[in-house]
Amino acid sequence: MTGKTALVTGGSRGIGRAISLRLARDGVRVAVHYGRDDQAAKQTVADIEALGGEAFAIKADLEEADSADRLWQAFDAEASGLDILVNNAAIIAPGPFAEQTQEQLARLFAVNVQAPFLLVQQGLSRLREGGRIINISSGVTRIAWPNDVAYSMTKGALNTMTLALAKELGPRGITVNSVAPGIIETDMNPWLADPVAADAAAAYSVFGRVGRPADVADVVAFVASEDARWMTGQYVDATGGSQL
């Protein structure tokens, strides 16, 4: 992987941070995208450099209509091409189905669906032959999760995009796959601080524990590697065997 360049959206925190660090350990130069938290991005870049890796931060609010344009402009100022695109950034808006608002739905689809679509569309001219596109999906596309229907729908859309792009980009040797985490210990799941809720979440997995960001990052690193060259259009379950 040495000498390759990756862009990880939402790469400064949670699962994205773990992916950024893991790819850097494998020798990849990482563009760490973030939306608002300057300190988290600086820390992630510093941690990568402390490991002997290379990284740079890119700030862009994916809710904004021109975010893909601005993100790629910032990327081009630092790099001359791309090998790995990880569409990881996402937002959630949990709540009962009947209480979800149009505003929430619009925000979720803007960040979780429209942004990855436009990033890939505009990034194809930068993506080298034999490259990788990895869409971070979710186990809620396989497991019914009524408390977050809109979020589940956005991740289902990513899976559909994965299938279509895998066929579209196959002639260029570019693989496109979805990696689907389950319940992971990140700041997107603050409810895990409740021991009762954490125990209930752990019971979903056959391993009897809640997932960690590194559990997903290691799977992503495999999908990004040359070892996964013959795998495309796939939904890779990284839920720890949840609800089997």
Q: Give, in words, the CATH class of 5-238.
A: alpha beta
Q: What is the pLDDT of residues 203-230, one digit of tens each?
A: 999 999 999 999 999 999 999 999 999 9
DSSP string, the chain: -TT-EEEETTTTSHHHHHHHHHHHHTT-EEEEEESS-HHHHHHHHHHHHHTT--EEEEE--TTSTTHHHHHHHHHHTT-S-EEEEEE-------S-GGG--HHHHHHHHIIIIIHHHHHHHHHTTTEEEEEEEEEE--GGGTS--GGGHHHHHHHHHHHHHHHHHHHHHGGGT-EEEEEEE-SB-STT-GGGGSHHHHHHHHTTSTTSS-B-HHHHHHHHHHHHSGGGTT--S-EEEESSSTT-
Average pLDDT, the chain: 96
Q: pTM of the full predicted structure? A: 0.96
Select which of 34, 151, 204, 235 is catalytic: 151
Please say if the pLDDT value at position 97 is more than 90. yes
Domain ranges (residues) in the chain: 5-238
Q: What is the pLDDT of residues 125-170, one digit of tens each?
A: 999 999 999 999 999 999 999 989 999 999 999 999 999 999 999 9
What is the reported pLDDT for 191?
86
107: its two tokens: 């925000």
151 is catalytic: yes
What is the reported pLDDT for 221?
98
β-pair partners for 178: 135, 235
Question: How many other C-beta atoms are found inside a 10 Å radius of the C-beta of residue 37?
Answer: 13
Q: At what angle do helices 149-169 and 115-123 cross, to 10 degrees?
A: 20
What is the reported pLDDT for 118?
98
- What's the CA gap between 115 and 169, in Å, rounded? 19
